[in-house]
Amino acid sequence: MISKKLLKALSDQLNAEFYSSYLYLAMSASIDNEGFKGFANWLYVQAQEERTHATHMYEYIVDRGAVPEFKAIEGVKGDFSTPLKIFERVLKHEENVTKSLNAIASLALEEKDHATYEFIMWYVNEQVEEEDTADEYLTRLKLSEGNISAIYNLDTILAARTFTDPFGGAAA
């Protein structure tokens, strides 16, 4: 059985993953309307990934004999009118996710819940890639200094991204 403290932390993270999906969908819709179909695609796939994370956490909590707490998902606000503004927000968001996941890992160790520690470490390790990718695209956008050809080249690259469920399930 999972402790009440860990259940709360995991439930909060599950809800945060759904918020992340909302955030990436909002960004996708906004930048799609600005004509950046590749950026919109990358963000849409990111939203799918976040929903898959939430579902995976749900399954873990239920498998541990608990019921997650579902909270209202906060609305998304922000200026998502340019790829640069979006990736500044993406990097900041992913850094916050990393902090949250690290806190859960620390709590699991503190409570000697090794199963939850192992479970959450998959996410902690994945965050290295998430932050690195966001930082890479942000750096490319800053280096382009408004060069529309460079931005559209990156847009073309991001258009090729497809969703792959890291847990082997159906597409979210």
Poorest-pLDDT segment among 66-70, 136-140, 142-146: 142-146
Q: Where are the domains of the chain?
A: 4-70+80-159
Structure tokens at 91: 């990097």
Residue 135 φ/ψ, nearest 5 degrees: -65, -40
User: How high is the mean pLDDT of the chain?
Assistant: 96
* Residue 92 in this model has a pLDDT that exceeds 90: yes
* Residue 165 in this model has a pLDDT that exceeds 80: yes
At 16 the pLDDT is 98
* pLDDT tens, position by position, 53-85: 999 999 999 999 999 999 999 999 999 999 999
Characterize 101-127 residue by residue with b for buried, 16 or more Cβ atoms within 10 angstroms of its Cβ, and e for exposed: beebbebbeeeebeebbebbeebeebb
At 171 the pLDDT is 47
Q: List Cα–Cα distances, 163 to 46, 59, 82, 117, 136, in angstroms.
A: 8, 20, 23, 26, 20
Does the domain at residues 4-70+80-159 carry the CATH identifier 1.20.1260.10? yes
